[in-house]
Amino acid sequence: MTNYLILNCEVYICVHVLKLIIIGIIIQAKILDSKYKIIIDKIITNFIGLILLFSMIILWKSFFFEGTLLNYQIIQDYYTFFFKFMVLLTSLICIIMSTNYCEYENIKGFEYLILLLFSTLGLLTIISSYDLITMYLGIEIQGLCFYIITNLKFFSDYSIEAGLKYFILGVISSLILLLGSSFLYYGTGTINFLDLNILFYSVNIINYNYYSYYITLFGLLLIYSSILFKIGIVPFHIWVSDIYQGAPTNISFFFAIVPQISIISILLRLNNIFVYVYLKQLFWFFMILSFLSITIGTLGAIYQTKIKRMLGFSGINNMGYVLTMILSMNIESIYGIIFYMIVYNVTSITLWLLFVSFRDISNMTPMEDIRDIMLLFRSNKYLSIIFFIFLFSNMGIPPMLGFFAKLFVILNLLKLKMYIFAIFIIILNSIAVIYYLRLLILMYSKLPDDKWIFLDDINEWKAHFIIIIGYINIFFMIYPNYFLLLIHNIILLIYT
């Protein structure tokens, strides 16, 4: 019975999703009435925030419950605990921080909030999965929810187009995952991570069966390709900019932050099984994809005029940096990946929060084009300074937090003696500064018709959140010990 306690967080979320669906059916007539719609949406948003908050508390209480369940298909350990906590925390922030978006955009219906909560359940399932079938089910749960909420603006052709593209490409990705799992099963006779771990650590498969060695490798590359599609790694990145642009901004906000955490966690778990047997092949596979992702992410963002498209290519660039550290499965690289993911989430959450909140006060229209931030410094000095800080952090300018994240990437490559690749990343990061500097220049630019754009005020609690994160970005260099020691203790819990 104790083993079932490792699922208490997932069960808690699932039960409340069913409750919200029942409540939605009961009060459906009230929801359709515009008089009650805004009130009901706010109540549901706050309720989902409380569900995620209590889920974090329940997860914390189950910290010492370790074990496997359902014939080694689900696992709970310190590794899954850390990544689950990150998913719940970032989901809570993304949902709460974009509360007023649907009200401004006149998007009716609270169902997308339930789908976001249900997709969080899928992401938690991915992290807990200890079997390829369980992992596939988790990916499909979050994928099906994402296909629907991408079409949240059902009156917009761009949103419908984005949802259709995402659905078609997502289905192809799922088929590739199933095909890769079939080849892996054909070569090894199992798809369970524990059995695979025992097999690849106890048997030299290339000496045991040369044919199975390459069949398994082919299946493994297909599985990796399908998983990397979910975080937009080149050449599986075609959907990213279109989906970010077509989906509502609050949904793009969620897409850009939360799913990456669970996908990186499952990549690390798979690498821990296969990297020692297929070290040379996986090394070249990840190096080529990280090279392409950093290149396309950097050069693609330079030519973008839409803010969400630019952030999409920036996300591809950042995931390429993470992929370079997966090249080596040592403690330093794991430390760098966790540090980079935390920094990436902090800076991305703040930048997306700013863009979700940017609205012209005259007509409450959102800012979508980069030219919309012209004269931001003169119309709203404090907001422009915060914007300035986080753009510098994304550039990797010292002493900002983003500099140290990219420093970990460079140090990891130098330790692997990949000096040319390290120089290449430094050059591309210098080129990436161009599209961030372009935004800073626009903040001081003058509009052709001398018309100033004044922004609507940001909520007080959002402003406090942004200011706190801004202070962390600036003053991290002065006293980084607590933060680095926290990550060090996390690594010790995971790998000891």
Q: How would DSSP label each residue in 417-473?
A: T-HHHHHHHHHHHHHHHHHHHHHHHHHT---TT----PBPPPPHHHHHHHHHHHHHH
For residue 235, pLDDT over 80 is answered with yes
Per-residue model confidence (pLDDT) at position 213: 80
State the number of CA atoms in the 13 A half-sphere of 462 facing the CB.
23
Residue with tokens 């359902």: 70
What's residue 136's pLDDT?
92
pLDDT at 396 exceeding the cut of 90: no
Q: What is the pLDDT of residue 182?
A: 92
DSSP-H helix ranges across 27-110: 28-32, 34-61, 78-97, 101-105
Give the burial string for 484-495 (b: 16+ CB within 10 Å, else e): eeeeeebbeebe
390 versus 448: the higher-pLDDT residue is: 390
Measured in degrees and rounded to the nearest 5, phi and psi for residue 455 equal -95, 150
pTM over 0.85: yes
Predicted pLDDT of residue 221: 92
Q: What distance, in Å, lies between the first and last C-alpha atoms of the chain?
A: 26
Specify the DSSP class assigned to residue 68: E
The helix/strand/coil state of 363 is coil
Digit-coded pLDDT (tens) for 223-233:
999 999 988 88
Residue 200 near residue 274 (C-beta atoms within 8 A): yes
Which secondary-structure segment (H or E) carries 74? Answer: strand 74-76
Could you give the CA distance from residue 71 to residue 454 in angstroms, rounded to a whole number?
A: 59
Residue 329 has pLDDT above 80, yes or no: no
366 CB neighbour count, 10 Å cutoff: 17
Tens-place pLDDT, residues 177-194: 999 999 999 888 888 888
Query: What's the rounded Cα separation, in Å, for the pair 55 and 10?
Result: 8
Q: Cβ neighbours of residue 324 under 8 Å, at least 6 residues apart? A: 286, 287, 290, 294, 409, 412, 413, 421, 425
Highest mean pLDDT among 37-41, 88-92, 105-109, 458-462: 88-92
State the alpha helices, DSSP H only, in 106-235: 111-128, 132-149, 157-188, 193-202, 205-208, 210-229
At residue 227, the pLDDT reads 92
The per-residue pLDDT for 271 is 86
How far is 401 from 380, CA to CA, in rounded Å?
A: 24
The C-alpha torsion from 22 through 28 and 30 to 33, rounded to 10°, is 150
Chain centre to alpha carbon of residue 297: 16
Q: Compute the average pLDDT of residues 230-252.
A: 85
The pLDDT of 131-159, averaged and rounded, is 85
What's the pLDDT at 369? Answer: 74
Angle ∠(386,295,271) on CA atoms, nearest 5: 95
**More confident: 328 or 207:** 328
Give the separation between CA 377 and CA 384, rounded to whole angstroms.
5
SS3 20: helix
Across the chain, how many H-helices and E-strands are there? 22, 2
Convert the pLDDT of each residue in 348-387 to its tens digit: 888 888 887 777 666 666 677 777 777 677 777 777 788 8
Q: How many CB atoms lie within 10 A of CB 292?
A: 17
- Compute CA distances 110 → 46, 143, 365, whole Å: 12, 19, 21
For the chain, the average pLDDT equals: 81
Rounded to whole angstroms, the Cα distance separating 379 from 367 reads 15
- Residue 380 tokens, joined: 């709203």
Higher pLDDT, 296 or 68: 296
In percent, the amount of the chain with pLDDT more than 70 equals: 87
Is residue 235 reached through a cis peptide bond, with omega within 30 degrees of 0 on the bond before it?
yes
